[in-house]
Amino acid sequence: GAGVSQTPSNKVTEKGKYVELRCDPISGHTALYWYRQSLGQGPEFLIYFQGTGAADDSGLPNDRFFAVRPEGSVSTLKIQRTERGDSAVYLCASSQTGNEQFFGPGTRLTVL
């Protein structure tokens, strides 16, 4: 019974570079969420997919952030022109019911 997986577990990049973070949800879960957790804070919502479409992207901080889920399963979060303030743990969660969400281990992004 595989849970939510995320790759890479750690990513170090330089300011201005482009990064992609991948999420593999629990098989059969139609809902997928991206959150971002900064030090000392709880996870903050970024974007929600129902199937292939982004049902709610109101949490994306600006247009440097974009996410896709082309086949309704794996999702990729893409960050362009990274800034030091983007450093955080990026968490992915999936859900069948829309209430209980099951999280992956996260990707720790460090922008130097």
Partner 1 sequence: DQQVKQNSPSLSVQEGRISILNCDYTNSMFDYFLWYKKYPAEGPTFLISISSIKDKNEDGRFTVFLNKSAKHLSLHIVPSQPGDSAVYFCAAIGNQAGTALIFGKGTTLSVSS
Total of chain residues touching partner 1, rule CB under 8 A: 29
Structure tokens at 5: 């997986």
Q: Given the rule CB under 8 A, which of 13-21, 63-71, 76-84, 102-110 is the region that contacts partner 1?
A: 102-110
User: For residue 35, what are the contacts with CB-CB under 8 A and spacing of at least 6?
Assistant: 43, 44, 45, 46, 90, 91, 92, 93, 103
Q: Which of residues 30-89 bind partner 1 (CB under 8 A)?
A: 31, 33, 35, 40-45, 48, 50, 55-56, 59
Name which of 29 and 64 has its Cβ closer to partner 1: 29
Interface positions with partner 1 (CB under 8 A): 4, 6, 31, 33, 35, 40-45, 48, 50, 55-56, 59, 91, 93, 95, 97-106
